[in-house]
């Protein structure tokens, strides 16, 4: 019984991406952000998400200032900075099939990327 309870608690405390929408902040790396040339730039106050599947036929919104890097496979396309009034609608990049989101560590508990309704 205690083993089952422990597993349930670990699952509840795990890195559930539903709070951040499509961003799994629990698996994001700290200490850098993806720059405008597609290379990691060191910065202790930044975090970078794992690769997120991207569908250019859908519209996405993000609620915190961030840098979104667009990729086709492993090939870097571009990084776009979003810093307007939230929610911000991501620009459509037709050739992209994945994105990586870089954001300030102070936004870890509040950042959310989601498909627009």
**Residue-range domain boundaries for the chain:** 2-115
Is residue 25 within 8 A of residue 47, CB to CB? The reply is yes
What is d(CA 77, CA 73) in angstroms, rounded to the nearest whole number?
10
Is residue 90 within 8 A of residue 82, CB to CB? The reply is yes
What pTM value is reported for the model?
A: 0.83
23: pLDDT strictly greater than 80: yes
Q: pLDDT category, 88, cuts 50, 70, 90? A: very high
66: pLDDT strictly greater than 80: yes
91: pLDDT strictly greater than 50: yes
What is the model's pLDDT at position 8? 34
11: pLDDT strictly greater than 50: no
């Amino acid at each position: 019984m205690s083993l089952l309870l422990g597993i349930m608690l670990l699952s509840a405390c795990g890195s559930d991406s539903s709070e951040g929408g499509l961003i799994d902040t629990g698996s994001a790396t700290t200490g850098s952000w993806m720059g405008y040339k597609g290379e990691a730039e060191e910065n202790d106050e930044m975090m970078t998400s794992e690769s997120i599947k991207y569908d250019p036929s859908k519209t996405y919104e993000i609620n915190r200032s961030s840098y979104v890097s667009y990729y086709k496979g492993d090939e870097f396309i571009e990084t776009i900075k979003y810093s307007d009034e939230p929610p911000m609608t991501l620009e459509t990049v037709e050739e992209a099939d994945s994105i990586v989101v870089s954001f300030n560590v102070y936004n870890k508990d509040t950042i959310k990327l989601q498909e627009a309704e």
